[in-house]
Structure 1
Amino acid sequence: MAKAREGCGWADNLEAELTCPICLGLYQEPVSLSCGHSFCRQCIEKVLGTQQNSQSPCPTCRTCLGPSLELQKNFKLDSIVQAFQATTSDEQRAVREGLQQDEGAKEGESEVVPCEYCLDEPQPALKTCLVCEVSLCRVHLSKHNARGFHQEHVLVEVGAGKAEERRCQDHGKLLECYCLAEEECICVLCCVAGTHKGHKVVTMKEGHDRQLVKLIDTMKQLEVSKNNLVTALEDLQESENQIKINTKSLTSQLEELFEKVKTELDEKMTMILSDIQSNEEAKLAVVANTRKEIEQNRDQAEQNLQALQEIKEQPDVFLFFKELKPVTDSCNSLVQHHTSSSRSTSSFAAALEAPAA
C-alpha cells in the first residue's frame, strides 16, 4: 500500500497539468484558444455561450478572443489524456482499494465515499465541504482550498455525522455561532433576526474554548470528588476493622469475667454475647451497604472522567457540544450527591468507631 501511494505521486502531478480549469476534471475533447490555453470543448462552449459581449475573454488569462472565435481541437493533448487514463487506471484502482482497506480497518469497514469531482476513476473523498455540499478527494481538495473565496468554507471529515444536523432547522444555514445564554449552536440569522436576537453570541470556536475551560474545571472537581470517595472507603475499612477489634476485645473480657462465675452467670453470658454478635452484624451490614453505595459512586465518577477525557479530545466541535451536556449533567448530579452523603458518612463512621456499651 505504501508503494502504491508513492508510485501515484507522479500521476498526481501529471493529472494537475491535464485538468480543465473550469470543471477541475481531466480534459474531455480538449480544444485550444488563440491565446494557447486549453479547455474541455463542452466547458468552454458553455462559458462563452453565457457571455453577451462579442469580445469574449479567455477564462484563464482574460485575453480578448475576438468576434470570430474558432475552437481548434488539441489532438496532442487529447492523446496525452487518453494515455494517462490508460496508464494510471490500474494504479488508481490499487490505491483506491488500499485506501478502502485502511478506512475499513480504522472505521470498522465503513463505506468509502467517492469524490464527486472525479470523472473516470473516482478517488476516495477525504473531506466534505458543508458550503458546497460536496465530498472531495486529496487532489480536488487542494484545488478547492486554492480558491480565495473558498477559504471560509467549512470542511469536515467524510461521514462525520449528517450534514443536515449542522444546519439551522429554522433558516437552513450552517451552525457557525454559539449562544451563551441558551448554550446551543445557532446560525448567523438566529442571532440577527431569530429567537436568539439580543443574546450574547460568540463564534463556535470561542464557545468551544469557553466550554473546554469549564470541562477541565469539572474534571478537576470530579477528580477531587473521586479522591474523597476513596478516602471515605478507607475510613470505612478502618471503622470495620475497629469494630471487629472492639468486639473481639469485649468478648475476651467478658469471657474472662464470666469464666470465674460460669456456673452462676452462664445464662447471662450467653445472652450478652448474643447481643454483641448481633450488634456487630448490624453494624457490618450498614458498613457493607454504605461501601456498596460509595463504590457505585466511585465507578460512576471514573466512567464520567473517561467520557470527559474522550470529549476533551474530540476534534469535531459539533460532536463536542452534542456529547458534552449529558455527561456534565451526570457529573453535577454525582458531585451534589457526594456532598450531601459525605456529611452523613463522616458522622456515621465516628459512631461506628465507638465501642458498644
Structure 2
Amino acid sequence: MAEAREGCGGAGSLEAELTCPICLELYQEPMSLSCGHNFCRRCIDEVLYSQCRRTCPTCRADLGFTLELRNFKLGNIVEAFKATISKGQEARGESLQQDQAAEEKTDVDPCEQCLDGPQPAVKTCLICEASLCQAHLSKHNARDFHQEHILVEVGTGRAEERRCRDHGKLLECYCLREEMCICVLCSITGDHKGHEVITMKEGHDKKLVKLCNTMTDLQESKSDLDTALEELQESENQIKNNTKTLTSDLNQLFKSIKAELDKKQRMILSDIRSYEEEDLAVIANTRKEVEQKRDQAEQNIQALQMIKEQPDIFLFFRDLKVVTDRIASLDLVTENVQVEEVQLDDRLMTQYETRKKKFLLHLDYLLDDIRDQSHRVN
C-alpha cells in the first residue's frame, strides 16, 4: 500500500479510513456496531466471542444484545479503492517493462540503412563505413562493385585501427621490408615508397607458411625436451636404485657387527642419504628448467594455433608479431641437457665405488677397534 500513497495524493489518508483497527488491513466484509465503529466481520466475531461482556474494542461502549450490521456502502468503497490501486500498479509495471525493452534495444548496433524500425546489424563494411542488417547485407553483396569490400563482425575492434594514421586510407597492403600493414598511398608517396609491397591477402599467405614452419620447429623442440625429460627420469631411477643397492649391502655388513657399531652405522647411512640428495638436487634443477622450456613451447604452439585460425587478417598480423617476437627470445636447446645426462652414469659409478671402498675400510677400522677392546677386556 506504500506504492498507492506515492502514486495518488490523498490515497494515504483514504487508506487509513478504510483500515480495520484490529487486523490493520483493508476491511473484509465491514460490520458496523451500535456505537458507530466499523470492523472486519471475522475480526469482530473473534473479539466478541472471547469477551464475557460485549464491548466495542475501540471505545469500550457496552453493546448489550445489539447485533452488528453489515455496512455494504463501506464495503463498496473498499472494493473501489482496491481496483484503483490495482490499475496504478499495472500501469507502473507496463511502464517498467517498456523501459527495460528500450534499454535492451540500445545494447544492439542498429542497421544504418533501415528507415522504419532499424533491425540489428550483422556485419560492418569498412569501405562503405556502415553497419548492415541481414537484408541490406544481401543487397550490398549482390552488387559487383561491392565484391572487393571488406566485411567484419559488428563491434570487432575499432575502425581507426584499420586505417592509416598518415593518410586515413584503409589498410589494404603489406610491406615486406617493415613487416607491417599499410595503405596504398604509403607505398606510392609515403615512407614505404620503393619497398616491396604486396596485398594483405598475399602477406597473410606468406606469413601462414612461416607460422606453420615455426610450429613444426617448436613441435620438434618439444619432442626433444620430452626425450630429455625421459632420460633424466631414467638417470634419477638409476641413482635411486644404486643408492638402494648400496644401502642393502651395507645393512648386510652391519648385521654381523655387535650393538657397539649401531651409532657408527647410522652415521654412514646418513652420509649415503646426503650423497643421494645432492645428486637428486642436480636432476631436479635440470628437470625444472626442461619442464619450463617445454611449457613455453606448448604455450606458444597453442598461441600460434589460435592465430592460424584467426579469420581477421589485421588481427592475424597484429597477434602474430607479438608471438613470433616472444618465440625468438626463447632458448629451447636441449644439447646441454643430453651431454650432462650421458656423463652422469660414469661419474655416479665412480663415486659409488669410491664410497664403497671408504665404507669397507671404515668398517675394517671399526672391527679392529672392537677386537682391541675385546683383547683388553680379556
Q: Which amino acid aligns with 2:207?
A: Q
* TM-score after normalising by structure 1: 0.64
The reply on whether 1:189 has 2:181 as its aligned counterpart is no
Structure 1 residues 263, 350: closer, same or farther in 2, change over 3 A?
Answer: farther
Greater Cα offset, 121-130 or 251-260: 251-260
Structure 1: distance between partners of 2:308 and 2:135? 32
The reply on whether 1:131 has 2:130 as its aligned counterpart is no
1:92-141, Cα deviation, whole Å (9 max, x unpaired): xxxxx9xx99xxxxxxxx94211100011111112111111111112212
Structure 2: distance between partners of 1:195 and 1:265? 86
Q: Which residue of 2 aligns with 1:338?
A: 332
Q: Which amino acid aligns with 2:289?
A: E
Q: Which amino acid aligns with 2:138?
A: S
Answer 1 or 2: higher relative contact order, Cα 8 Å, separation at least 6: 1
Q: Which residue of 1 aligns with 2:295?
A: 299
Corresponding residue pairs, total: 247
Aligned with residue 323 of structure 1, among 304, 309, 319? 319
Q: Which residue of 2 aligns with 1:231?
A: 227
Unpaired runs of 5+ residues, structure 1, are 1-96, 102-109
1:243-265, Cα deviation, whole Å (9 max, x unpaired): 01111122223343455566897
Structure 1: distance between partners of 2:317 and 2:107? 26
Q: Which residue of 2 aligns with 1:152?
A: 148
Q: Which residue of 1 aligns with 2:200?
A: 204
Structure 1: distance between partners of 2:337 and 2:142? 64
Q: Which residue of 1 aligns with 2:83?
A: none
Structure 1: distance between partners of 2:266 and 2:290? 36
Matched residue SS, 1:338: coil
Structure 1 residues 262, 214: closer, same or farther in 2, change over 3 A?
Answer: farther
Q: Which amino acid aligns with 1:295?
A: E
**1:197, distance to aligned residue in structure 2 (A):** 1.1
Question: Which structure 2 residues correspond to residues 76-95 of structure 1 after superposition, within 5 A?
Answer: none
Q: Which amino acid aligns with 1:348?
A: E
**1:272, distance to aligned residue in structure 2 (A):** 4.1
Q: Which amino acid aligns with 2:212?
A: I
Structure 2: distance between partners of 1:259 and 1:347? 41
Structure 2: distance between partners of 1:286 and 1:171? 59
Structure 2: distance between partners of 1:250 and 1:308? 50
**1:238, distance to aligned residue in structure 2 (A):** 0.7
**1:321, distance to aligned residue in structure 2 (A):** 0.7
CA contact (8 A) 1:179 1:186 kept: yes
1:281-310, Cα deviation, whole Å (9 max, x unpaired): 011122222222222222222221111111
CA contact (8 A) 1:243 1:352 kept: no
The reply on whether 1:282 has 2:284 as its aligned counterpart is no
**1:148, distance to aligned residue in structure 2 (A):** 3.3
Question: What RMSD, in angstroms, separates the aligned Cα atoms of the two structures?
Answer: 2.4
CA contact (8 A) 1:283 1:352 kept: no
Aligned with residue 114 of structure 2, among 118, 122, 125? 118
CA contact (8 A) 1:311 1:324 kept: yes
Give the percent of matched residue pairs that are identical in Structure 1 and Structure 2. 66
* TM-score after normalising by structure 2: 0.60
Aligned with residue 166 of structure 1, among 156, 162, 166? 162
Structure 1 residues 324, 294: closer, same or farther in 2, change over 3 A?
Answer: same
CA contact (8 A) 1:178 1:184 kept: yes
